[in-house]
Amino acid sequence: MDLDFTPEQQAFRADIRSWVAASLPQDIAHKVHNGLRQSRDDLQRWAKILGAKGWLGYGWPKEFGGPGWDAIERHLFEEECALAGAPRIVPFGPVMVAPVIMAFGSPEQQKKFLPGIASGDVWWSQGYSEPGSGSDLASVKTRAIREGDKYIVNGQKTWTTLGQYGEWIFCLVRTSTEGKPQTGISFLLIDMKSPGVTVRPIVLMDGEPEVNEVFFDNVEVPVANLVGEENKGWTYAKYLLAHERTNIADVNRAKRELERLKRLAQSEGLMDDPRFRDQVALLEVDIVALEMMVLRVLSAQAGGKKALDIAGLLKIKGSEIQQRYTELLMLAGGPFSLPFVWEAMEAGWQGDYIGGPQFAPLAANYFNYRKTTIYGGSNEVQRNIVAQTVLGV
Amino acid sequence: MNFEFSDDEQQLSEAVQRWVERGYGFERRTAIAKAGGFSAEAWGQIAELGLLGLGTSEDDGGMAMGPVAAMLALEALGRGLVLEPVAAVALVAASVLAQAPADVRANWAPRVASGEARVVLAYQERAARYRLQRVDTKAAKSGDAWTLAGTKSLVPIGDQADAFIVSARVSGNADDPAGIALFLVERAADGVKTQGYALQDGSRAAEVTLANAPATLLVAAGPAFAALELAVDTGIAALAAEAVGAMDKLFELTADYLNTRKQFGVPIGTFQALRHRIADMKMQLELARSMSYYATLKLGEAPAVRRRAVAQAKVQLGQSARYLGQQAIQLHGGIGMTDEYIGSHYFKRLTTMEMQFGDTMHHIGEVSARMQETAGVFA
């Protein structure tokens, strides 16, 4: 047992680091390092830079044009990107739907969809949750009725992150009401430009239209866009959820934000205040423990060993840590976290900052990150899963 | 001992609740927030209810009914997330005006009580964080006339106020409480500039810049710092009451949601993990309510006793507000995250209140510095 990366892994990291340093636009990194608003263009620009290098699908195997990295290499790539201030990769295309298409899609679907995902040209959205189906995802009601060579889709999805930019959406739809709810679900790829698709942004409490409702009114979808078999969608969804989990702890970003917290605390004189400083120290311990847990999981994965039964814990702890650092950043800002100046979260804004530009996004970020224990399967659901694994029932 | 309210107090509380329910619904509040966070019309209605005289004696034209009545009124305003800073004007500013020279008092106190004049405390500075004694604004005297120079931050309705009560340094280093005096500066005076903005909870505040602005002495250096502490403690007690009102309502919303939202074919309130959570929220709510009473009942005590009690209350309030607010959002799931749902506005209000007049960590420090060998309500 040892903690060191191999010389090959260290060389790999160094290569990634120098490439990211040379390739990541500085204006984008500035926004990420300072918690400022990222535009569609920022996210898209970085996606295309990665796409051109062949790294947007950084978890993809070689046969589909990916780099074929193992779990440790993927982690090192994520870490180098995060520390450099790269935006998070919008996961819906390259991280979520692509693995499903690779595993269960037809060769035609793979040929049609994967290149646009790999290059960053096509923006994908996720159509899972519905107003009545959150934690109880298997109860989805959006209906797809087959008529000849197409499905007619009616219903509503919600919480579709950045769906206002979406060009394609992968959806769980109900194709049968027979038997258990899980057995009547299909996995459908829908062109969001189809007649009958309406996207309505939902403004979150930080003032940002980050998620959307997506309505389907007699939308025609070619049967060729059904992934795998009809009524087997739940199996594919579970496969996808397993993929969503891998980087959900996001420990790399936590390390970066911890450093930002220390800088802010230092400049506000709080590193001399043992009461505040100790809170930063406790967060640091949490982050080190989470990183060790992540490394144990990755090492088992990369070594082809049996998956560790602690993977379910990563989302719980990771999201709690994300919430804690945004909370401490806001508290470090103190009274100057309180002004809400929407424009001040725009990079390069020339107006009067209240107290200083560093304070502008702190409370908004804190409010926004309350989502992390809700989305991707709420932490209550995660705990049920962990308990089920532990207890066997 | 008696935790019952008098008939007068009860009537006041009901009158404010009625106004909040009928006259200050979510739609109106949203419109006021969009328009900048302060409504002169709503302010007029609050004045008609008599609330702006709650901290002013009858002799000065007010209707002071004591701290318990004020607490109940603020609790009702908190339930309705009222944006207008009633406590800041009617209680905090009034507590300083009550100590002002007779002529100044006679000029301002009755107009504050009637709603004609909006006077607010301007004490926050960039370098101060939560330390009241940290004052860089300078006061200079020439003959009998004072002028002030400096910048005050986060002044409630700063660009809608008629006058500010300003803490300024007449002597001493930047952290010397004995060198601080309290002045009144009119917003219309020469050298006064304001820059208004919204706070995270939608209420209004401003930066107030004073460039040798003419000022009237309210409380001289020495007693002034004690007056500032009293004003802030009054504000904390009021904030505690408002926070209890907000928590009370948010708790109700959450309990309702657990009983109506169904997943897996049953109301989510049937799940034990969520039942325990709502029990813990109830715990935090009642602890906060208890400490809000405690702060209010200790307001009239000697400064050292009062400060300790108020700091203890603020610690409890901060912890309760954070736990209850965060869990309310969590238990609502996605809907709790949205701007169009009222619950998120309670959460933002509670978050804002935790950081006003000193956050939880600051007040843990205040309590810690005042710990004695014995503790308890009757220690």
Least confident window among A220-224, A309-313, B93-97, B236-240:
A309-313
Q: Is B212 left (phi over 0), alpha (psi -120 to 50) or beta?
A: left
Q: Residue B183: pLDDT above 80?
A: yes
How large is the greatest C-alpha to C-alpha distance in chain A, in angstroms?
A: 72
Cα dist. A107→A68, A98, A101, A110, B53 in Å?
A: 20, 13, 9, 5, 77
What tokens does B186 get?
Answer: 């009119």
Q: Residue A39: pLDDT above 70?
A: yes
> For residues A88 and A162, what is the distance between their CA atoms, to the nearest angstrom?
13
Over residues B83-92, mean pLDDT: 98
CATH 1.20.1250.20 fits B119-221, yes or no: no
The pLDDT score that the predictor gives to residue A303 is 84
Question: How far apart are the CA of A15 and the nearest CA of chain B, in angstroms?
Answer: 40
A343 is catalytic: no
What tokens does A195 get?
Answer: 């007649």
End-to-end CA distance of chain B: 16
Q: Residue B212: pLDDT above 80?
A: yes
> For residues A223 and A218, what is the distance between their CA atoms, to the nearest angstrom?
15
The pLDDT score that the predictor gives to residue B342 is 98
Over residues A198-217, mean pLDDT: 98
Q: Residue A180: pLDDT above 70?
A: yes
Mean pLDDT of chain A: 95
> For residues A349 and A211, what is the distance between their CA atoms, to the nearest angstrom?
25
Q: How many CB atoms lie within 10 A of CB A147?
A: 9
Per-residue pLDDT tens digits for B326-357: 999 999 999 999 999 999 999 999 999 999 99
Domain B7-114: CATH superfamily, name plus number: Acyl-CoA dehydrogenase/oxidase, N-terminal domain (1.10.540.10)
Q: Is B359 an interface residue toward A (CB < 8 Å)?
A: yes
Nearest to B348 among A205, A355, A379 (CB): A205
The pLDDT score that the predictor gives to residue A29 is 98
Over residues A246-271, mean pLDDT: 94
The pLDDT score that the predictor gives to residue B145 is 97
Identify all chain A residues contacting B153, using CB atoms and an 8 Å cutoff: 335-336, 354-355
Q: Residue A162: pLDDT above 90?
A: yes
Asked if A371 and A387 count as a contact pair (C-beta separation under 8 A), the reply is no
Per-residue pLDDT tens digits for A75-128: 999 999 999 999 999 999 999 999 999 999 999 999 999 999 999 999 999 999
Confidence of residue A225 (pLDDT cuts 50, 70, 90): very high
Cα A273 → chain centroid:
35
Nearest to B330 among A279, A341, A374 (CB): A374
Q: Is B378 an interface residue toward A (CB < 8 Å)?
A: no
Which of B:153-192 have CB within 8 Å of A?
A: 153-154
Asked if A260 and A326 count as a contact pair (C-beta separation under 8 A), the reply is no
Q: Residue B186: pLDDT above 60?
A: yes
The pLDDT score that the predictor gives to residue A245 is 60
Over residues B30-45, mean pLDDT: 98
CA angle A133, A138, A141 (to 5 degrees): 60
Residue-range domain boundaries for chain B: 7-114, 119-221, 226-369
Strands B119-122 and B145-156: unpaired
> For residues B273 and B292, what is the distance between their CA atoms, to the nearest angstrom?
29
Size of interface A-B (CB pairs under 8 A): 123
Q: Residue A183: pLDDT above 70?
A: yes
Mean pLDDT of chain B: 97
The pLDDT score that the predictor gives to residue A96 is 94
Q: Residue A244: pLDDT above 60?
A: no
Confidence of residue A241 (pLDDT cuts 50, 70, 90): confident
CATH topology of domain B226-369: Butyryl-CoA Dehydrogenase, subunit A; domain 3 (1.20.140)
Confidence of residue A247 (pLDDT cuts 50, 70, 90): confident
Identify all chain A residues contacting B197, using CB atoms and an 8 Å cutoff: 339-341, 354
The pLDDT score that the predictor gives to residue A246 is 61
Give percent above pLDDT 90 in chain A: 91
Q: A346, exposed or middle or buried, with CB in 10 Å at 0-12, 13-18, 19+?
A: middle
End-to-end CA distance of chain A: 33
The pLDDT score that the predictor gives to residue B375 is 87
Nearest to B198 among A340, A373, A379 (CB): A340
Suggest the residue from A156, A204, A328, A338 to mutate for an interface test with chain B (most B CBs closer than 10 A): A338
Q: Is B361 an interface residue toward A (CB < 8 Å)?
A: yes
Suggest the residue from B200, B278, B332, B342 to mutate for an interface test with chain A (most A CBs closer than 10 A): B200
- With a CB cutoff of 8 Å and minimum separation 6, the contacts of A182 are A138, A234
The pLDDT score that the predictor gives to residue B344 is 98
The pLDDT score that the predictor gives to residue A305 is 78
Strands B266-267 and B262-263: antiparallel
Suggest the residue from B276, B337, B340, B356 to mutate for an interface test with chain A (most A CBs closer than 10 A): B337
Q: Is A370 an interface residue toward B (CB < 8 Å)?
A: yes
Confidence of residue A312 (pLDDT cuts 50, 70, 90): confident
Cα dist. B118→A336, B93, B158, B209 in Å?
A: 24, 9, 10, 18
The pLDDT score that the predictor gives to residue A243 is 66
Q: Which amino acid is present at A391?
A: L
What single DSSP character describes residue B284?
Answer: H
Q: Which of A75, A38, A62, A57 is nearest to A124 (CA)?
A: A57
Domains and their CATH numbers in chain A: 7-89 (no CATH), 124-231 (2.40.110.10), 248-391 (1.20.140.10)
Tokens 């993977």 sit at which residue?
Answer: A311
pTM of the model: 0.97
Tokens 């009473």 sit at which residue?
Answer: B293
Question: How far apart are the CA of A205 and the nearest CA of chain B, in angstroms?
Answer: 4
Question: How far apart are the CA of A64 and the nearest CA of chain B, in angstroms?
Answer: 35
Query: Are B7-114 and B226-369 the same fold in CATH?
Result: no
- With a CB cutoff of 8 Å and minimum separation 6, the contacts of A380 are A135, B271, B273, B274
Q: Which of A210, A199, A201, A211 is nearest to A156 (CA)?
A: A199
The pLDDT score that the predictor gives to residue B292 is 98
